[in-house]
Amino acid sequence: MERIPLWERAPLFEESFDQPAPSLTPYLLPGGGARGAVIVCPGGGYVMKADHEGAPIAERLNELGFHAFVLDYRVAPYRHPVPLLDVQRAIRLVRHRAQEFGVKPDKIAILGFSAGGHLVCTAATHYDAGDPAAVDPIDRESCRPDLFVPCYAVASLTGFWHEGSAHSLLGEKTDPRQLRALTAEFCVTEDTPPCFLWHTAEDGAVPVENSLRLAAALTAHNVPVSLHVFPFGPHGVGLGREDSPLAEDWPDLLADFLRTMGF
């Protein structure tokens, strides 16, 4: 698959960090008619991106009838807001080129695992309508996702958090106010997009309370939410086919939710 650079020159890019420029890898279905699309953000504690949470997920989404893109976002030693800038730009880019890709511009979802789940939670609660005066036409597009899918996500940086992800994103010295500002449950509003989220009850790295608290906040603000907690499986199960057989149903459940939402 050919990678699509997010920018000609990415902002805050550091050659010395020895990471590629942020990019999207498209997994587009053939045939006419616009479809919904899902941008996939693999997890990896904001220090790497897990292979099993990238291409295999996009391919499964294709099997279910959706376009997909895998985002190669920047990780440590990059700090916040760099990963957020990358996913916001990815949403703008797909929306700007929606006709070319065969994507419905108002049906662009973001999906992420673990720390990638934190990233999509942040993008779903921190967005703008675009800058109509921007020289770059991509920057004129909204970066609000139309739906978000946190998968065993680090949704919280204040309660049942994942210390490694927080320190990789923010550094060793963390400001409590910044931690709260990047905790999804405190940032939900009535304008937050619909959400599908899932977790395993046995997750020993990122406790299931991350998803439970986020779902409660979404419900309190009347945001459509579909929450699924599977009883067995460790952290990082991906498609769940080996480590957590019960969790392997989540893509089909997600597909039903996406179709219900017009994807």
Q: Write down the pLDDT at residue 29.
A: 96
DSSP 44-110: STTT---GGGSHHHHHHHHHTT-EEEEEE---TTS-TTHHHHHHHHHHHHHHHTHHHHTEEEEEEEE
Whether 202 contacts 20, CB under 8 Å: no
Identify the pLDDT of residue 4.
98
Show the tokens assigned to 19: 């990471």
How would you classify the pairing of strands 225-230 and 23-27?
Answer: unpaired
- Give dist(CA 117, CA 136) in Å, integer: 28
Cross-sheet strand order for the sheet of 147-151: 4-5, 23-27, 67-72, 35-41, 103-113, 147-151, 195-200, 225-230
What is the model's pLDDT at position 31? Answer: 85
Report residue 148 as tokens.
Answer: 């978000």
Determine what percent of the chain falls in helix, strand and coil, rounding each to the nearest 5. 35, 20, 45
pLDDT (tens digit, 0 to 9) for every residue of the chain, 263 residues total? 689 999 999 999 999 999 999 999 999 999 877 999 999 999 999 999 999 999 999 999 999 999 999 999 999 999 999 999 999 999 999 999 999 999 999 999 999 999 999 999 999 999 999 999 999 999 999 999 999 999 999 999 998 777 889 999 999 888 899 999 999 999 999 999 999 999 999 999 999 999 999 999 999 999 999 999 999 999 999 998 776 778 999 999 999 999 999 99
The pLDDT value recorded for residue 137 is 98
- Terminal-residue alpha carbon distance, the chain: 23
Q: What is the pLDDT of residue 163?
A: 84
Task: Name the pTM for this structure.
Answer: 0.97
Task: Please count the other Cβ atoms lying within 10 Å of the Cβ belonging to residue 247.
Answer: 24
Closest by CA to 154, choosing from 74, 228, 235, is: 235
Predicted local distance difference test score (pLDDT) of residue 221: 98
Looking at residue 185, its pLDDT comes to: 97
In this predicted structure, what is the pLDDT of residue 162?
77
Tokens standing for 24?
């999207």
How many C-alpha atoms does 150 have within 13 Å on its Cβ side?
36
Longest distance between any two alpha carbons in the chain, whole Å: 51
